[in-house]
């Protein structure tokens, strides 16, 4: 294997549709029911992303699983942050109207 011989990584559409929302739901469940600090939730999201990717989506290749697991975890973190920011902005906009 050459140094520049990268593995072929294919992402299934269903990985993004199911894995990322599932990570978001699981992290919120853990945050609420196990009372972990909010600053630790992104780490848990990345760990879930790595677990789903390594053991389910890309079980044929550890490198592919690690690579895509980071994307799953950080996609869930970004989606949650975006959703939260939009909800806060909407509430502020709505409360500023008299």
| Tens of pLDDT, residues 42-91 | 999 999 999 999 999 888 889 989 999 999 999 999 999 999 999 999 99
| Tens of pLDDT, residues 7-16 | 666 667 777 7
pTM for the complete prediction? 0.81
Give backbone dihedrals phi and psi of 95, rounded to 5 degrees, phi first: -75, -20
| Tens of pLDDT, residues 16-37 | 789 999 999 999 999 999 989 9
Contact (CB, 8 A) for 8 and 68:
no
**Which helix (H) or strand (E) is 78 found in, with range?**
helix 62-96
Contact (CB, 8 A) for 72 and 19:
yes
Domain assignments of the chain as residue spans, ordered by start: 14-96
Supply the pLDDT for residue 50.
Answer: 96
Supply the pLDDT for residue 88.
Answer: 94
């Amino acid at each position: 294997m050459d140094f520049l011989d990268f593995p072929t990584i294919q992402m299934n559409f269903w990985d993004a549709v199911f894995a990322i929302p599932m990570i978001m739901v699981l992290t919120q469940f853990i945050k609420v029911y196990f009372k972990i600090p909010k600053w630790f939730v992104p780490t848990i999201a990345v760990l879930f992303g790595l677990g789903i990717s390594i053991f389910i989506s890309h079980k044929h290749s550890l490198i592919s699983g690690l690579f895509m697991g980071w994307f799953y975890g950080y996609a869930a973190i970004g989606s949650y942050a975006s959703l939260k920011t939009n909800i806060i902005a909407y509430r502020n906009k709505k409360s500023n109207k008299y």
